[in-house]
Amino acid sequence: MPFGWLILAFSITLNLLVLFYLWRSSSAIKYRSIGLFCIAQLVLIAADYAASTFTSRDTYTRTYWLNDIIAHMFISLVIVALIRAALEEYPQFRWAPTALFLGVLVVAAVSLIVFQNPRIPRWINPVSRNLSLTEEALNLVLWALLLRRQQFDVQLLLLSAGMVMQVTGEVIGLTLRPYTNATTIWVPNLLVQFSELLCLGIWIWALRYRPRQHVGT
């Protein structure tokens, strides 16, 4: 089995495991955005496979980068949903998650205009990088909120840590891509793919997490 197909198989398996443990978790409703993200990931994987198998190279390229932007929107929605969960103690800031997601849409729109290029990879790659940087900023907001909470939510912290691993890997990989050639492009691509798998692995750990019960003496 080619290495790329092995990574794809791991990705599908981990997405399904996240859905399974989320379904079994008592936090399934609270973190339903993660379930939607994993379902979207599986649909996008199927779309990429169909485009690569049954369409031309140009159509596959357009499909791949369109799916990349869609995936970023779902990542942003997950982080915003986690921020909403972290703001439970601050009802006066209920408007903040919506405002933050609108900010993500503004970054996407401006980046699409500024980096417009006839060659789709050269157009969308910097857009994808900017969205990853925006997601990093959202994660910083989330961690700041978690550190201010009176009750430390380990599960929520682990879920956000998974997102940090993914978007950090994507930022580095997407930044390196323009400086690679046909023989070295696999390095940033592998970094991006590995960071996505690492995120899913951390999510599984988070969803399986159970607080230790302290027994009194």
Q: Domain-by-domain residue ranges, the chain?
A: 3-208
Whole-number percent of the chain with pLDDT over 70: 95
Kindly report the CATH number that applies to the domain delimited by 3-208. 1.20.1070
- Write out pLDDT tens, residues 140-197: 999 888 888 767 778 888 999 999 999 999 999 999 998 998 899 899 999 999 999 9
Q: Is the pLDDT of residue 217 over 70?
A: no
pLDDT at 211 (0 to 100): 60
HEC per residue, the chain? CCHHHHHHHHHHHHHHHHHHHHHHCCCCCCCHHHHHHHHHHHHHHHHHHHHHHHCCHHHHHHHHHHHHHHHHHHHHHHHHHHHHHHCCCCHHHCCHHHHHHHHHHHHHHHHHHHCCCCCHHHHHHHHHHHHHHHHHHHHHHHHHHHHHCCCCCHHHHHHHHHHHHHHHHHHHHHHHHHHCCCCCCHHHHHHHHHHHHHHHHHHHHHHHCCCCCCCCC
pTM for the structure as a whole: 0.87
- Write out pLDDT tens, residues 18-39: 999 999 888 878 889 999 999 9
Report the range out of 81-95, 97-111, 142-156, 179-193 with the highest average pLDDT.
97-111
Q: Is the pLDDT of residue 213 over 50?
A: no
